[in-house]
Amino acid sequence: MSSLTRQALIVSGSRFLNQGLMVISPIILVRLLSVEEFGAYRAFLLYTTLVGNLAAFSLANSLLYFIGLQPQGAWGYVKRIVLSLVVTSTLAVIGFVVVNAVLPEPLMREHLWPCVLYVLFYVNVDFWEFLWLAQKNPTAVFGYTAGRLLLRITVVIAAATLTRNVEVIVWSLVVLEGVRVLASLYWWRRLAAGNDTEPLKVSWREQLEFCVPSGLAVFVTTLNSSLGGVFINQTLGEEALAQFVVGGYVLMIVYPFRNSISDVMLPEMASLAGQSRNAWLPLWQRSIVLFAILLLPLSILLGRYAELFITTVFSDKYRGAEVVFQMHCILLALSCFDVALALRAINRTRSLIVANFVCIAANIGAMMVLVPVFGSGGAGAALVFSSLVGLAYLLRVLAGLQGLTMGELLPGRRLGQVLLAAAVATLCVLPPFWTESFGLLGAIAAGLLFGLVFVAGLKVLKVDEAAWLLQMVGSRFGLTRRTT
């Protein structure tokens, strides 16, 4: 567990830092561009993300599983991934161009071809992060992801500062990714030379059987989360899209933190699942409680001070994003239940596809009712509703596959203790005088008081994961002596 903890800390710290850097970009861009121009830029990123996820198909992510099974075959699996990405990315962009052409109202007009080139460059020969994670080299992951993101931010901000032109910003990103794919191609061929001769234990068919359901699930998940933005962009315009995107930035900051821990845990859970039917369950249950301890307070505090956060970080122009922001805070709390991690660990990823189609149906139905009445806030509420439906479905499927009751599957007692501690701490931040009298400083003081009461509540209730987390953090900073 200590080795996993170290990897999780480094990788999650890397991704958290990366997302922090990524948030710097929009904070600056909203002040350099008008709301409509920022909306146009975000529309480009919306469709490139959607098509890019389909093109990537979660193929590189599968290295975590297969290299975990056969470490000596790493470069052989990488070669398969690179070849597969060429095929999937080509099919994805062709499909997008066709769909864009046949729709009565095109998804993209001005930036269609930059979008196509960007997706091709961004997706191909991009496996390094998962290769190094599978090889337990989190320091390399930190350097690669942070360096890549820092270059992106520098290019975007420089282009925006010098030109204030969305077209220039978009093409600058395309050129940057073109340079990256050439550099990655060079280093891949150099490092893999003579090292990909290990016979692979897993056939192409077996690898595809793992990747296809998982890839479809990731794409459909992205489609579900992007539907609100697409719907708003097509019906309400780019200004409304800008408000909606700003409201969703809380997940952009935190999701990679959760996903990085999940990525570190997957090889270990897959190994445990191969030993006995439910050997992975205690580790997964512990992750749920740890996620709740870390993410639930953040969700409550951000939701409580949503307006202050939005206006302080993004300016008064984006005050309309408050309701969407609060809806995403609810999604942040729900993200504690990473059922997809468990299904990937036991190689039952096909259920993810069905679940995500269920989510899409629920999302579309809810948006049809809520968006005409509540605008972008309705799209956020629809996403929360569809996420609840999908979570309930996946939990039921996982329990059925493993022959468990819901009480046996979930750590109900420990989650209840965390919720009780959070509920008591929430009483501290409900009074409005914190911000009415002291503004931002009052919100910070209230947050610190919340944290102290929450930690005290966890200690009084004797939550095992909280005690372990405090011991681990204390030992890292020399505050406590680690027990053996």
Tell me the domain boundaries of the chain: 2-410, 412-484
pLDDT tens by residue, 364-418: 999 999 988 888 888 889 989 999 999 999 999 999 989 999 999 999 999 999 9
* Count of beta carbons in the 10 Å neighbourhood of residue 403: 9
The reported pTM is 0.72
Q: What is the pLDDT of residue 260?
A: 67
For residue 389, the model assigns a pLDDT of: 94
Q: In whole angstroms, what is the distance from residue 256 CA to residue 262 CA?
A: 10
For the range 361-370, what are the long-range contacts, defined as Cβ-Cβ under 8 Å and sequence gap of 24 or more? 362/386, 362/389, 362/390, 363/224, 363/227, 363/228, 364/227, 367/227, 367/228, 367/231
Q: What is the mean pLDDT of residues 138-152?
A: 83
Task: Concatenate the DSSP letters of all residues of 312-371 into one string.
Answer: HHH-GGGGGGHHHHHHHHHHHHHTT--HHHHHHHTT-THHHHHHHHHHHHHHHHHHHHHH
Torsional sign, CA 215, 218, 223, 229: negative
Establish how many alpha carbons lie within 13 A of residue 245's alpha carbon, considering only the half-sphere containing its beta carbon: 27
Least confident of 242-256, 338-352, 365-379: 242-256
Q: Phi then psi for 438, rounded to 5 degrees? A: -125, -5
Q: Which sign does the torsion angle of CA 369, 374, 375, 381 carry?
A: negative
| Nearest 10 degrees: Cα torsion 194, 198, 199, 203 | -90
Instruction: Note the pLDDT of residue 5.
Output: 52
Q: Which two tokens stand for residue 321?
A: 């994003």
What DSSP assignment string belongs to 390-410?
Answer: HHHHHHHHHHHHHT--HHHHS
